[in-house]
Structure 1
């Protein structure tokens, strides 16, 4: 069996309805939470029922150095002004050699915010952008 080192550098690709929005070097917020309601049953003092109610999904923040793919992100965000469509999305974690580590399908994706770089000639830092997206759950 060919095992790959899981600690190698990972980067992420984002596509919305099959449209590639480029590669990102940071991804945070791939999480969900199940809200639990506690119910006590009369006459049963040994435990309390833990019942699931709703599932919530956090916003996902993707970061990367400024690239020509920024225009694809801007085009997608601008499309929201003409009517809200909630497409499916896909985030794929890739190793340095391009092989896939993991993949997350996202339902009803919507851009929440985009933050462009702070451009300052006096600061030699890398110009980065941050894209934040919301979704209604995971899929295949």
Structure 2
């Protein structure tokens, strides 16, 4: 009998920018979008109000992980913004511990917003983590990113 893969098991996220992997992250927040709705009342029609879609907004995505050697790739990408802004495509793949894919999201026009490195405090030892925040202009077919 084939063993089913548990989607709730340990998941990590691989971030790829223009085909180059920036490594695996163990936390990912902000994969969301929101459609703004305008309400329009139609004269003589008191049964309902028209709900019309207007603008779609996409939240920033925050990725976290323990500090690794791949931090240098993130720093290089952020530094490249100072020489001119390009908006590459990106991809976030949710992977199980065995490397099999759970889901993936293609991102349009990705831009690094902020990076935060670890805090070192001998009074409260903890894993050194980094946090990367990125902005984007929407989702696309993950196969295209």
When normalised by structure 1's length, the TM-score is 0.97
Shift of 1:2: 5.6
* 1:1-140 matches, cutoff 5 A: 3-140=4-141
Distance in 2, matches of 1:75 and 1:6, equals 33
Describe the superposition over 1:1-23 as per-residue Cα deviations: whole angstroms up to 9, x where unpaired. 76321211100000100011000
Shift of 1:124: 1.7
Distance in 2, matches of 1:121 and 1:72, equals 28
Distance in 2, matches of 1:5 and 1:103, equals 17
How well do the aligned residues superpose, as a CA RMSD in angstroms? 1.0
The DSSP-based 3-state class of the residue aligned with 1:53 is strand
Distance in 1, matches of 2:128 and 2:91, equals 25
Describe the superposition over 1:68-116 as per-residue Cα deviations: whole angstroms up to 9, x where unpaired. 0000000000000000000000000000110000000000000000000
In structure 2, the gaps of 5 or more residues are: none
Distance in 2, matches of 1:18 and 1:48, equals 46
User: After the TM superposition, which parts of structure 1 deviate over 2 Å for at least 4 consecutive aligned residues?
Assistant: 120-123
Matched residue count: 140
The DSSP-based 3-state class of the residue aligned with 1:122 is coil
Q: Which moved more, 1:54-63 or 1:121-130?
A: 121-130
In structure 1, the gaps of 5 or more residues are: none
